[in-house]
Amino acid sequence: MSASVKLCSRLAVITGGGSGIGRAVCQRFAQEGASVVIADVNEDSANDTLKLLSHNNEDHKHSAFIVDVTSKQSVEQLFSQIQLRYFRPPCISVSAAGITQDEFLIKLEEDAFDKVLQVNLKGTFLVTQTLAKALISSGLSKGSIINIGSIVGKVGNLGQTNYAASKAGVEGLTKTAAKELGRYGIRCNCVLPGFILTPMLEKVPQKVLEKFAGMVPLGRLGQASDVADACVFLASNESQYITGVSLEVTGGLFTG
Ligand code: NAP
């Protein structure tokens, strides 16, 4: 395989980098020459991702850190650790940390609503804000913030009131950040995956997955690498005039 250099000499932080989509993003970014910071609440899985990058890590440019994106203190500590290790802030972030706690609206507990909003929406806010502040104060004139929303935030889904609300919030947050941060050369975009085969989908009954797979115009559920490819595009100069958009990676499901 010939070496590609779409993200050469870029430093990227990926939350949720220990699993699923986040892990695939780490792998694709490393292939494209980026230095990758894997950040996850699960230290073991973050370290497992780091091991997967070992063939691209002869110069130890990748690293793994523990973070709880729901905590401002933890997110700030992550960025301090990155600064200490690399002497600069990342110029790319991908907020892929996320959870589900599915239940029908009339049975949904307040705690399950709050938890999903805390990780998916507040976590994305904290990472977006902390990176924006770091980039602005460092004087770096370019950045790409990529937030992983969901097609469910646009169209809703049975049993996912909390999740759909959190992901609709991620889109609104990202579009607003794009308007505010454009003057600093910082682009902010969302990726909206459809149904992607990751550990998150393991909780969904096989019957339901088969039903959705049958509805996808491209005829299959997505792979984490499909989403990672979209993130490479949004992180790279190939999208340098694109900000404030939501890129659907759904195989055509629910599009239009
Ligand atoms: P995943 O395999 O479950 O990965 C999510 C990762 O985030 C896990 O490593 C998880 O750790 C970590 N995490 C959870 N809470 C965290 C916190 N507070 N701080 C830091 N990290 C935390 O899920 P995925 O499918 O890759 O999902 C990645 C993103 O894509 C999520 O935002 C998800 O909502 C979104 N998405 C997924 C799909 C899909 O079909 N898979 C579709 C649309 C959107 P633990 O495992 O320890 O909890």
Average pLDDT over residues 18-45: 97
Q: Is 163 a catalytic residue?
A: yes
Residue 248 to residue 254: CA distance in whole angstroms:
9
Bigger pLDDT: 229 vs 204: 229
Residue 158: pLDDT band (50, 70, 90) is very high
Determine the pLDDT at residue 58: 75
Residue 147 to residue 16: CA distance in whole angstroms:
11
Walk me through the domains of the chain, giving residue ranges and CATH numbers.
11-249 (3.40.50.720)
**Is the C-beta atom of 251 inside 6 A of ligand 1?**
no
Determine the pLDDT at residue 87: 97
Determine the pLDDT at residue 128: 98
The alpha carbon of residue 79 and the mean position of all alpha carbons in its chain are separated, in whole angstroms, by 16
Determine the pLDDT at residue 19: 98
Question: Hey, whose CA ends up nearest to atom 10 of ligand 1?
Answer: 16
Determine the pLDDT at residue 1: 47
Distances (CA, A) of 234 to 25, 33, 57, 149, 158: 12, 15, 23, 14, 30
**Is the C-beta atom of 112 inside 6 A of ligand 1?**
no
Residue 102: pLDDT band (50, 70, 90) is very high
Residue ranges with strand state E in the chain: 11-15, 35-40, 63-66, 92-95, 143-148, 186-193, 196-197, 222-223, 246-249
Q: State yes or no: pLDDT of 44 exceeds 80.
A: yes
Mean of all residue pLDDT scores within the chain? 95
